[in-house]
Structure 1
Amino acid sequence: MPRTKARRRRKPRQQRYEQSVPLVLRGRTVPRPRVQPRWSVGATLLVVALLVGAVALWLTFSPRFYVLQVEVEGTNRVSPEEVFAASGLERLHILWVNEKEAEARIVEQIPSVTAASVVCRLPADCVIRVEESPMLATWQVEGSLFWVDQAGGVIPATEPLAGGWYVTGPIGSGGQVDEDVITALVELERLGVPPQPVMYREGRGLVLTDEEGWKVIVGEGSGMAERMAVYARVKEYLLANGIHPLFVDVRFPKAPYYSVTNEW
């Protein structure tokens, strides 16, 4: 019988399989980056806008930010209430306060105040400091007394001002002494004329009384130094010649005159 060759059985091919596994580094897994949702940015902006709006409404409508009262310093004759009213700050929101404008209003509306300072801070705290002009004279109008300061401001008084002029006569329009009259009194005092009783007549100005007994019409406004110098020469002439006039008028220094017969 013929011999048949025995066939070798081929070994089955071994296939290699690689299994994917997560990368592990010493027992720690690398985290995946988180993706932030798109809506969170818009929500944040909305919250911020709401907060800003709420703060704006609070600043606008809260009574804490409105000037309802102030602290006033430096007043003697003027009341704090009058200063507050003149400032224009009452019930004004602190964000709309203009300190310089308030200062200007006070000085403009209150003649006796020569200077004002306004300082305001949050929430609505304001301090007003004022300087008042010094008193100059007592003014008598019929049976009423008033004190007059160097700005012409007038306030009611119950007694004469110690060491000041005592003027009898009408007060100018508006309840304030005319600036020319104030100027005349100030200049006379600077020239060494002691404050004394003096009359004021519209159209003639101030009328002094000389120690010799006659009247001296000096007028009003500036130029008192020249007028008083002229009067000194006129008086010297009168005394040297034994003349006792009823009045001497030196309102016009280049043409002074006197009268021994006519009333002034």
Structure 2
Amino acid sequence: MPTGRAMRLPTGPRRDEVRMARRRRRGRRQQFEQSVSLALGGRRVAEPVPLRPAWVLGGLGVAALLGLALWVALSPRFYVTGVQVVGANHISEAAVFAASGLAHLHILWVNAEEAEARLLAQLPSVERAEVSCHLPAACTIEVVERVPILTWDIGERLLWVDAAGGAFPADHPLEGRWLIGGPLPTDERGLVDREVLLGLAELTRLGVRPGRVVYRPGRGLVLDDPAGWRVILGQGAGMERRLQVYAAVRAHLLARGIHPRFVDVRFPEAPYYSEVNEW
């Protein structure tokens, strides 16, 4: 009866090779088991990507910026609803604000230079304008007004006139200044005729008390004499000579009891008067 034999494990190098083979088979089996857990229905499922703190913070930052942008764009706090006006003495703050074009404008769309240009174009009485704005919607308009030297009554309304000839609406006559009645003579730039202003300036310098004067096209400045007639002085330089001639003519008329309807001294070398004609 045959007897069993015990199997003898290889020794030496042979034994080491067997151990290495077993380890390789065990490793392949573990890899296979790991790969099976990642497959569903024959399709590989990607492993979830871990969230990094930097990505989270970046996303929150973008969301915050978008929210801030929407708030600035839509909040009524950033729309100009009023301004502070500095330097306006003869025009109202409401008129300055309306002329600036800033009403209901978002602060981010405010253009100071354009607002200043609109002010100068729409308010002839303003010589200079400066606009400054800051968040949330605070704007200041500083203006320098032209100094009026006389009032012009064109019938339906009053105008103030400055030394440069600029005319702008007024609500009352200037006290102690010339009040001119009649059509407004202007040049191609829309300024009051310089010859008229020069004539008035000379009369003031010569001591003629400012008061009401009539301007008549073609004849110039016309004053009323207390004796009851009109004095046509014309315009431009030479008022001193005209007044001298008029004084002589007036003395002649009073001495002879003559009461003309007017005396014309526009041309001092040839003065004349009329007892019949209106002009």
TM-score normalised per structure 2: 0.62
Q: 1:131 aligns with which of 144, 154, 169?
A: 144
User: What do the CA deviations read for 1:219-238 (whole angstroms, capped 9, x no partner)?
Assistant: 3xxxx3x3325425644775
Which residues of structure 1 form unaligned runs of 5+?
A: 1-36
The percent of aligned pairs where both chains have the same amino acid is 38
1:183 maps to a residue whose letter is: L
Structure 2 partner of 1:33: none
Structure 1 partner of 2:239: 228
In the alignment, structure 1 residue 112 sits paired with structure 2 residue 125:
yes
Structure 2 partner of 1:146: 158
Which residues of structure 2 form unaligned runs of 5+?
A: 1-49, 255-259
- Contact kept in structure 2, 1:138 and 1:145, CA below 8 Å: no
In the alignment, structure 1 residue 195 sits paired with structure 2 residue 206:
no
What do you get for the CA RMSD once the two structures are aligned? 3.5
Structure 1 partner of 2:18: none
**Structure-2 change in CA distance of 1:162 and 1:54 (3 Å):** same
Tell me, in whole angstroms, the C-alpha distance in 2 between the residues paired with 1:256 and 1:98.
59
Structure 1 partner of 2:115: 102
Tell me, in whole angstroms, the C-alpha distance in 1 between the residues paired with 2:202 and 2:62.
67
**Structure-2 change in CA distance of 1:70 and 1:187 (3 Å):** farther
Tell me the CA shift for residue 66 of structure 1: 0.7
Structure 2 partner of 1:62: 75
- Across the two proteins, how many residue pairs are aligned to each other? 214
Tell me, in whole angstroms, the C-alpha distance in 1 between the residues paired with 2:128 and 2:216.
31
**Structure-2 change in CA distance of 1:51 and 1:256 (3 Å):** farther
User: What do the CA deviations read for 1:150-209 (whole angstroms, capped 9, x no partner)?
Assistant: 23112233xx53211122224579xxx952167344564456543122101234332235
User: What do the CA deviations read for 1:86-114 (whole angstroms, capped 9, x no partner)?
Assistant: 00010111111122221221122112222
Q: 1:51 aligns with which of 64, 83, 108?
A: 64
- Contact kept in structure 2, 1:218 and 1:227, CA below 8 Å: no
Structure 2 residue matching 1:91: 3-state secondary structure:
coil
1:247 maps to a residue whose letter is: V
Structure 2 partner of 1:22: none
**Structure-2 change in CA distance of 1:230 and 1:164 (3 Å):** same
- Contact kept in structure 2, 1:147 and 1:161, CA below 8 Å: no
TM-score normalised per structure 1: 0.65
